[in-house]
């Protein structure tokens, strides 16, 4: 259990990221593929989609995000994300959800919710895995403003729904310690 708790505690929002990660791109992408395969999805619908931007695509992504906002987001902020080694883009495929809604109409309204839940588990699992590899990350939500820009940049189908962007890279500075919390204010034990 200690290894699980340690992994969860180590996963933090790291904003000072660099390009010099301690493992190869192949190791990172293999880990992301494996985690994507292992994370559950209701009815085993496999609705989750991931794009990993590396190298020139990493830089092009954040330049395109800056351009999509027409200067309304500070260049310094965007450049902080661009300075990362790469970015994981998280989507669900609406075509999969629509098919499930048609095939199992009794649960039609639940499939979008379940896809979001699965995507959240995927984001957290990838984030925790990256941290276990000595890589820092943070989570951004520039969608829906950037949706069309991202689809065009990566030649993605219109059915992909962008949910989050996770810049990742070398840890250039540690975050401040988390403040202590009385977790009993959020957890009720009923017997």
DSSP string, 46-106: --EEEEEEEHHHHHHHHHHHHHHTTT-S-HHHHHHHHTSSEEEEEEEEHHHHHHHHHH-GG
Report domain 19-172's class: alpha beta
Q: Determine the Cα–Cα distance for residues 127 and 147; give it in Å rounded to an integer.
A: 22
Q: What is the model's pTM?
A: 0.96
3-class DSSP state of 154: helix
The pLDDT mean for the chain works out to 97
Report, as ranges of residue numbers, the positions in the chain whose pLDDT lies below 50. Answer: none
Question: In the chain, what's the furthest Cα-to-Cα distance?
Answer: 55
Q: pLDDT tens, 53-90?
A: 999 999 999 999 999 999 999 999 999 999 999 999 99
pLDDT of residue 189: 96
pLDDT of amino acid 157: 98
């Amino acid at each position: 259990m200690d290894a699980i708790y340690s992994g969860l505690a180590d996963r933090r929002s790291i904003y000072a990221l660099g390009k010099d990660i301690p493992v190869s791109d192949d190791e990172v992408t293999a880990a992301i593929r494996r985690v994507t395969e292992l994370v559950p999805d209701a009815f085993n619908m496999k609705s989750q989609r991931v794009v990993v931007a590396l190298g020139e695509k990493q830089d092009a992504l954040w330049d395109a995000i800056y351009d999509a906002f027409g200067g309304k987001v500070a260049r310094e902020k965007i450049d902080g994300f661009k300075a990362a080694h790469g970015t994981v883009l998280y989507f669900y495929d609406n075509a999969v959800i629509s098919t499930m809604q048609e095939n199992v109409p009794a649960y039609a309204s639940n499939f979008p919710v379940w896809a979001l839940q699965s995507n959240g588990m995927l984001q957290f699992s990838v984030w925790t895995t990256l941290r276990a590899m000595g890589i820092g990350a943070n989570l951004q939500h520039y969608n829906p403003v950037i949706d069309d820009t991202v689809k065009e940049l990566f030649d993605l189908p219109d059915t992909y729904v962008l949910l989050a962007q996770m810049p990742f890279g070398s840890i250039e500075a540690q975050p401040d310690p988390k403040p202590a919390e009385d977790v009993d204010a959020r957890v009720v034990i009923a017997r």
